[in-house]
Amino acid sequence: MIFIEPYHIKHFEALSSYELNEQQAVFALVPKYILDNPTIMENTLRTQFTILYNEDPVGLFSLDLSEDRLIYTDNLASILLRAFSIMPEHQGKGIAKSTMLALPDLIHKYYPEVDEVVFGVNYENELAYNLYLKTGYDDSGKTYQGVKGPQHCMIKKLK
């Protein structure tokens, strides 16, 4: 069973210790980069969340209210999902799927004014793209040219 909570320093050691394989590292930032980056951690518009599996920290993502979300949508009541990753040894257990299914309720709890979640997924990351589609997120049909290649602009209406 998963539980998602705002990042706490007690999660640092577990989350900063994992690396993604070469293929996955192309698509996502590892938590160590985020958690060691004062610019990200001090940004009041961006909040990090820890994914817990059986009470152990196994993943991290950010929710971001900055202008960056407007790359994907014109909706000012949107929020941007960023830097979503799961420890390699916990992949394949349904944790990412459960997290994506739980995300709308989490957003409603912490950001009741938000009515849409948006994010990009690299065209080459077919596994993640298919997971997002299966968990109720839609491809908006727009493409964003990210630093690591073109991205599908994904969207989910929350209200």
pLDDT tens string 80-105: 999 999 988 899 999 999 999 999 99
pTM as predicted = 0.92
Question: 3-class SS at 23?
Answer: helix
CA separation for the pair 116, 31 (Å, rounded): 24
Q: Which residue has the higher pLDDT, 144 or 21?
A: 144
Whether residue 20 has pLDDT greater than 90? no
Give me 76's structure tokens: 């000012």
Q: Are the beta carbons of 71 and 150 closer than 8 angstroms?
A: no
User: Residues 46-53: what's their mean pLDDT?
Assistant: 98
Residue 31 pLDDT level (bands cut at 50, 70, 90): confident
Whether residue 50 has pLDDT greater than 80? yes
For the chain, list the domains and their CATH numbers.
Answer: 2-157 (3.40.630.30)
Measured in degrees and rounded to the nearest 5, phi and psi for residue 26 equal -65, -30
